[in-house]
Amino acid sequence: MSSVASRLKSRGTASPAFLLAVFLVILVAATVYVFVARLYPAPPPISRDAVLVDRQYDLTLWVAGAAFVLAQLGLAWAVFRYRDCGQQASHIRGNVALEILWTFVTLLAFVGLGILGRNAWAGARFTPSAPDAIQIEVTTNQFVYTFRYPGPDGKFGRLDPSLVSAPTGNPLGIDANDPAGKDDIVVSELTVPVNRPVELLLRSQDVVHNFFVRELRLQQDAVPGMLIPVNFTAERIGTYEIVCTQLCGLGHYKMNGLLHVVPQSDYAAFLKREALVQ
Amino acid sequence: MSSNPQVADSVTHAPNSLLRRYVFSTDHKIIGLQYFFLALAAVTIGVILSLLMRFHLVWPAAHLPFIAGGIMTPEQYLALVTMHGTIMVFFVLTTAPQSAFGNYFLPLQIGAPDMAFPRLNMFSFWLTFLAFVVMLSAFFVPGGAPISGWTAYPPLSGLGEVTGPGEGIGQSLWVASILIFCVASLLGSINFLSTTIDMRAPGMTLTRMPLTVWAWFVTAILSLLAFSVLFAGGILLVLDRVAATSFFLPAGLVVSGEVQTHGGGSPLLWQHLFWFFGHPEVYIAILPGMGVVSHILANFSRKPVFGYRAMAFALCAIGFLGFLVWGHHMFVSGMNPYSGLTFSLLTVSIGVPSAVKTFHWLGTLWGAKIQFHSPMLFAIGFVSFFVTGGLSGIFLAQPAIDTELHATYYVVGHFHIVMGVAAIFGIFAATYYWFPKMFGRRMNESLGKFHFWLTFAGVYCIFMPMHFVGIAGGIRRYADATGATYLAALQPLHQFMTIAAFVTAAAQLIFFYNFFRSLKKGEAASANPWNATTLEWITASPPPSDNFGGRFPRVHRGPYEYSVPGATQDFLPQHLAPEALGSANKEPNNAN
Amino acid sequence: MPTSSIDELIERDGGGGAGYHGPFGNGDDWSGNPGIPQRTYVTGMILAVGGILMFFMALVSAWVVRRGFPNSDWQPIALPRILWLNTVILVASSFTLARSRHSLIAGRDADSRHWWGVTTILGALFLVGQLLAWRKMFAAGLFLATNPSSSFFYVFTAAHGLHVLGGIAALLLVAWHSPRRLTRETATHVVALYWHFLSALWLIIFALFLLEA
């Protein structure tokens, strides 16, 4: 150890400076590579709102990425260029014009990003559901998703917590005396028709859960005591995984479901089939 | 300045018994060291917990000898998650940068004999110690430690054992510990602020305070205002748990088939109260590190901090804005989406003073004469990590993108880089820098450099891949990857991170060895081994009990007068009178 | 004058108590141990008041939010009338404390001590009155968990009451024991700050209760 140390010392401060600079360059190269090569990408988006999210993400990646590259390489250059080689340091106390400039540029860049990001958020959250949106209630509990369709009458039956009994086939606690609930369809997998607006009504029976579908770029907590609507229109047929992202207990990691996006005809058939089974 | 003829006992006569000198001491230096060693114990435990977590993520079915039944259960994993986060955030990141180094060096850097309220200071430490013991005891009670994360969202945390193992006594002990910690922090912040406001040496105006003092000052304001709110939230949570109130618990809950009798409360209310504390808390964790980094960069660049006033102002701006952004933790919580947009714009605004500080650090290095001692390496590392972690935050600050990344490993990567790495590098930098002053000995330079390289590379290897796991949809707080099927493809990244974690943790043994060996066998340190300008370096290493041996300095210039043109040496200590420097020395008129 | 290395100078300058005989600086540049200025205790109390205020503001915001829920189960409670008397007592105690402090500054020690005692008794009476208010609530079947409004009533009055208890302890401590680090003037100032804050805080809390009734 000591002979290595003394050899390092004899090269002055070149060694740590050089090592730092090289390391930072490798860091930048590796990071840029992983992003550019899309080694671990998110799955392709399947809705218009998801595409808007991706666009905003890409824009942010350009801005943040440029800042990252410039700052890390700037650091690398500075530590190498100004390593102690016997020079005198310059007694610079600051530079007001420069300080004002970079404050302003940063403000524009960051706040600009924030303002531009409004649209992707507004599209998903500020617009109410379309009048012909299919309403599906999503109930979460430890540790399953249960989906309820209102049936032909378009109305959900009344729920009563004291009637909840999963073993006897009433996991949601539907009040049998409520006529609106007689045609409700309760299933454990979510099926929706492609290219039709869907409004999910998220609720929870016990603790805070979450509904997340990567391909929709859609995530929302399900909070007990609240009924939270989220809207989407899926534009690609397929089966997608639903996961819970809000820590909900020991089964959190196993709480997942499936979203089936099917052709309209399949959806009609699904409703008819399930109505018989309920 | 009127002086009180009655000074505290400890500042005129050093106490005699071992107990009063090292255990129940009112000397801020001893108290600072007590906090330091508490944080050291806490970080050791915290790292071990995280290694167990990383191990389990990659080998979930492995037999572990110290677990009853052999295989770690999901609830045990979640208990590790909860306790790792809690111990690290409170007992390491809130304790070491502020309570440890701040207590030791604030009075020294402002030329004061002690903190304003030495006995209150001692009381604060022992309360913190008590909080730590209570927190650790949660591991050993029936049901074990809580599983609700360091964020403890109700109803999971508010209903008791029925929501899961560890949610009974374990969660109660957790809340009790946090409440005690809140009081300790509040008392500590009163001490810091009073001391800084009223006990600065003559001539030390605000613009002659070292940036470390500015950072501790702003951090103490954040502590005073944030911990009060956490305390309120904690009281309400306790009442929901034990007194059947319903502040956070809505009606109609059915947990595992049992109908709960609470009514009308809101889980979101807890989230607002918690994050109103929680966001300033992360600035409490990082601001002292920023101060230390500015301080060290100047020292080892032999240059003033670039734009000192802007740096001080940026600290204040970050502190102030830090209170306005808590909603960015709640974009998908069910909060009003219009509030989300407001919080988003405020959050991206915080990026501005943060970026300004980064530019100024680069500006400090520009035209410098950089000496790569260990403290400097860690300070430079801090800048790199702050850039990375800060920029990854820009994504999360936008709710549309947060919809994709919330509660994924992207967030875990982001906050670990800023807190678990940058802030820790600030602590390492401060330790290497001030070790000679605290203990009168030098740490071994070669070991310090070796520790730096392994850690710098290692933590980038651990935490950069987390961002990629998150973008691909890897969810945090998952005990393993056996749930959703797409998670299996991310396991290679997890394996890489786990190996990096074990290697990096092992590298910390170098630090431990260096630290403890140097305490006894390190080369003797002079008063000012780094040729620094600030007041802590004018006194002996370690300082006498009243800090300055009966002779208290007066301040004549700013804290970073390095390489002043025309001076005979490349640094002008703050306390030397202008006439003492001789006519050959000229210095800038400006006090800063 | 031969210049020693700066390190040597600093060693001689500031080291642990060794006599300084160096060429730099003059005696005026150093001071003796400044100790802790009296005003520091006032600063500390102002800061403490800030922290306590923040705690109560958190409770107030929780109260505002809870009241404002849609489909709210909020049932305003009928306030025990003794609360009005308690309010008068507490405000009066602030006046008596101000009187006591004024007397101390004017040098009328006996008068000061008299009004200090009256303040302490009024403070204790306030607490007794709050407990009586609680008894009235129990009698009306309103306990901590009965409804959200009653929950907040107990939380606010208990938190405030505990702080008042601390204030009474401070009043007694200052009366009994001459403080060593603080002068009597400072101790009085500091306690008065705290006490007046608690009176003002109670007025805010009471106003909130009245607002919703």
| A256 chain-B contacts, CB cut-off 8 A | 483-484
| B400 chain-A contacts, CB cut-off 8 A | 52-53, 56, 117, 119-121, 124
CA atoms B437, B438, B440, B445: torsion sign: negative
Give B291-300 pLDDT, tens digit per residue. 999 999 999 9
| B391 chain-A contacts, CB cut-off 8 A | 64, 67-68, 71
Comparing alpha-carbon positions, the chain A residue that sits nearest to B448 is A5
Instruction: Report the distance separating Cα C120 and Cα C113, nearest Å.
Output: 11
| B534 chain-C contacts, CB cut-off 8 A | none
User: Is B344 within 8 Å of A117 when comparing Cβ atoms?
Assistant: yes
Comparing alpha-carbon positions, the chain B residue that sits nearest to C65 is B269
Where does A117-184 have alpha helices with state H? 118-125
pLDDT in tens, chain A (278 residues): 455 555 545 445 568 999 999 999 999 999 999 998 989 999 999 999 999 999 999 999 999 999 999 999 999 999 999 999 999 999 999 999 999 999 999 999 999 999 999 989 998 899 888 999 999 999 999 999 999 999 999 999 999 999 999 898 899 999 999 999 999 999 999 999 999 999 999 999 999 999 999 999 999 999 999 999 999 999 999 999 999 999 999 999 999 999 999 999 999 999 999 999 87
pLDDT in tens, chain C (213 residues): 333 344 444 444 443 333 333 333 445 688 899 989 999 999 999 999 999 999 999 999 999 999 887 767 788 888 999 999 999 999 999 999 999 999 999 999 999 999 999 999 999 999 999 999 999 999 999 999 999 999 999 999 999 999 999 999 999 999 988 778 899 999 999 999 999 999 999 999 999 999 887
Instruction: Report the distance separating Cα B585 and Cα B590, nearest Å.
Output: 15
- Average pLDDT of chain B is 94
Interface size, chain B vs chain C, as Cβ–Cβ contacts under 8 Å = 206
> Is there a cis peptide before residue B492, judged by omega within 30 degrees of 0?
no
Write the residue in B347, B395, B590 that is nearest to A60 by C-beta.
B395
- pTM (predicted TM-score): 0.94
Comparing alpha-carbon positions, the chain B residue that sits nearest to A60 is B395
Structure tokens that stand for B304 in this block: 């003033």
Report which of A123, A132, A130 is spatially closest to residue A49, judged by C-alpha positions: A123
Residue A212: partners with Cβ closer than 8 Å, 6 or more residues away = A218, A219, A220, A242, A243, A244, A245, B407, B475
Instruction: Report the distance separating Cα A164 and Cα B150, nearest Å.
Output: 31
Give me the residue label for tokens 């300004």.
B356
The SS3 assignment for C144 reads: coil
Residue C158 in contact with partner chain B when CB distance is under 8 A: no
| B573 chain-C contacts, CB cut-off 8 A | 6, 10
Reported ipTM: the value is 0.94
Q: CA C77, C81, C87, C93: dihedral to nearest 10 degrees?
A: -140
Give the CA distances from residue C86 to residues B161, C136, C144, C150, in Å, rounded to whole numbers and listed in that order.
Answer: 41, 14, 21, 19
User: Is B553 within 8 Å of C14 when comparing Cβ atoms?
Assistant: yes
Beta carbons within 10 angstroms of residue C139's beta carbon:
9
Comparing alpha-carbon positions, the chain B residue that sits nearest to C23 is B580
CA atoms B591, C4, C6, C8: torsion sign: negative
Instruction: Report the distance separating Cα B330 and Cα B408, nearest Å.
Output: 14
Write the residue in B306, B352, B407 that is nearest to A246 by C-beta.
B407
User: Is A206 within 8 Å of B399 when comparing Cβ atoms?
Assistant: no
pLDDT in tens, chain B (592 residues): 334 444 444 444 556 788 888 889 999 999 999 999 999 999 999 999 999 999 999 999 999 888 877 899 999 999 999 999 999 999 999 999 999 999 999 999 999 999 999 999 999 999 999 999 999 999 999 999 999 999 999 999 999 999 999 999 999 999 999 999 999 999 999 999 999 999 999 999 999 999 999 999 999 999 999 999 999 999 999 999 999 999 999 999 999 888 888 888 999 999 999 999 999 999 999 999 999 999 999 999 999 999 999 999 999 999 999 999 999 999 999 999 999 999 999 999 999 999 999 999 999 999 999 999 999 999 999 999 999 999 999 999 999 999 999 999 999 999 999 998 999 999 999 999 999 999 999 999 999 999 999 999 999 999 999 999 999 999 999 999 999 999 999 999 999 999 999 999 999 999 999 999 999 999 999 999 999 999 999 999 999 999 999 999 999 999 999 999 999 899 999 999 987 765 444 455 444 4
Write the residue in B244, B569, B576 that is nearest to C24 by C-beta.
B576
| A4 chain-B contacts, CB cut-off 8 A | 446
Give B430-443 pLDDT, tens digit per residue. 999 999 999 999 99
Write the residue in B73, B151, B255 that is nearest to A206 by C-beta.
B255
Report which of A203, A122, A261, B396 is spatially closest to residue A211, judged by C-alpha positions: A203
Per-residue confidence (pLDDT) for residue A80, from 0 to 100: 96
> Is there a cis peptide before residue A41, judged by omega within 30 degrees of 0?
no
User: Is A219 within 8 Å of B406 when comparing Cβ atoms?
Assistant: yes
Where does B59-100 have alpha helices with state H? 74-86
Comparing alpha-carbon positions, the chain C residue that sits nearest to B1 is C37
- Average pLDDT of chain A is 93
| B191 chain-C contacts, CB cut-off 8 A | 44
- Do you know the residue count of chain A? 278
